[in-house]
Amino acid sequence: MQAKKIRTYSELILLPTFKERFEYLKLDGAVGAETFGHSRYLNQYFYRTPEWKRVRDQVIIRDGCCDLGVPGYELDKHVYIHHMNPISIEDITDHNLDILNPEYLITVSMRTHNAIHYSDESQIFVGYEERKPNDTCPWR
């Protein structure tokens, strides 16, 4: 049996590029795979707690509100916090403090979050298209 790799923020920030950070975090999940199932109310309750909201704000500030904490990938809305090590029902019911530890959390967009869970690089926005004079003017 292979030991579960614990992903940490300290290791993640040593990787300079968005792609390297994505590769470090991807999980090889499957679309439609059940995680919390009928107990989904537990994680929804957790994400409404004052403790979670406080840690969430700290992580967003730490990461400069950038996708995967990479400068140049700023997020202007729909900011999510990703647990680098998937959480379980037991983590919530047993009050595992690791789920509130910023060392195991990173700021992401929804697109990046889904790409991490399903190891689907095609979902990732890889950069901005270079602007050119008159590129928004259809008749020029």
pLDDT in tens, 5-51: 899 999 999 999 999 999 999 987 654 445 565 677 788 889 999 99
What percentage of the chain carries pLDDT values higher than 70? 79
Per-residue pLDDT, 117: 86
Whole-prediction pTM value?
0.80
| Within-domain flag for 137 | no
| Mean pLDDT computed over every residue of the chain | 85
Residue 88: domain span: 36-101+113-124
| Maximum mean pLDDT: which of 7-11, 25-29, 85-89, 109-113 | 7-11
Q: Of the candidates 117, 103, 114, which has an alpha carbon nearest to the alpha carbon of residue 58?
A: 103
Q: Of the candidates 101, 121, 103, 102, which has an alpha carbon nearest to the alpha carbon of residue 111?
A: 121
Per-residue pLDDT, 32: 46
Run of H or E including 59? helix 50-62
The total number of structural domains in the chain stands at 1
| Within-domain flag for 45 | yes
| Within-domain flag for 22 | no
